């Protein structure tokens, strides 16, 4: 297992649409293990493969609290097959947009179909923070960032801020 570098806005790869995983193999399982280690190290509650530069439809999530037993979930080719319920609003953040948080409204419940690490088809029904996290990470697989769900003014402001930081780091490096 290895901690992989996380792509940071404005990296253009974050806007790529990830490719489906053709078959679950050792490479896919290693990717998920590395992603979990990277997510826990960051620390975060979700990570999409594209955030570590791999354009594959793979996400990992773990919404357990610090003092609880870890409950890691690896989802390959996840797709939302149903969403509904009362809309919920959470203050979201993203490991690819460090230290920026904004309230986002999403469906309160989802059902997600995916392949597990053994290649078996599974479904999970989620609400609360897990539903939000799954939607956030699946968005990444489609090149969508959580800032795409906020006002254009706020989005433009945060993108500009990260572009300036990246330019500064490039000049210093």
- C-alpha separations of 9 from 99, 136, 151, 159, 160 in Å: 12, 16, 17, 7, 10
- Active centre residues (catalytic): 137
Weakly modelled stretches of the chain, pLDDT under 70: none
The single residue listed with the structure tokens 């078959």 is 23
- Looking at residue 75, its pLDDT comes to 98
CATH of domain 12-172: 3.90.45.10
pLDDT at residue 48, as a whole number? 98
From start to end of the chain, where are the E strands?
46-48, 58-61, 73-84, 88-94, 97-106, 109-115, 121-127
**Domain extents for the chain?**
12-172
So what's the pLDDT on residue 88? 96
pLDDT in tens, 110-146: 999 999 999 999 999 999 999 999 999 999 999 999 9
d(CA 45, CA 43): 7
Tokens of 172: 């210093």
Tokens of 131: 């539903």
């Amino acid at each position: 297992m290895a901690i992989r570098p996380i792509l940071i806005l404005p990296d253009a790869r974050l806007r790529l649409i990830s490719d489906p995983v053709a078959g679950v193999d050792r490479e896919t399982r290693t990717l998920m293990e590395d992603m979990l280690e990277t997510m826990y190290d960051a620390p975060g509650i979700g990570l999409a493969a594209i955030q570590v530069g791999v354009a594959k439809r793979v996400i990992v999530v773990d919404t357990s609290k610090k003092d609880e037993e870890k409950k890691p979930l690896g989802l390959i080719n996840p797709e939302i097959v149903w969403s509904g319920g009362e809309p919920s609003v959470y203050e979201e953040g993203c490991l690819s947009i460090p230290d920026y948080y904004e309230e986002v409204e999403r469906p309160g419940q989802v059902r997600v179909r995916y392949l597990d690490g053994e290649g078996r088809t599974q479904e999970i029904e989620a609400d609360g923070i897990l539903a939000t996290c799954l939607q956030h990470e699946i968005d990444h697989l489609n090149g969508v960032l959580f800032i795409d769900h906020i006002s254009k003014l706020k989005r433009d402001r945060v993108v500009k801020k990260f572009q300036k930081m990246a330019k500064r780091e490039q000049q210093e490096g």
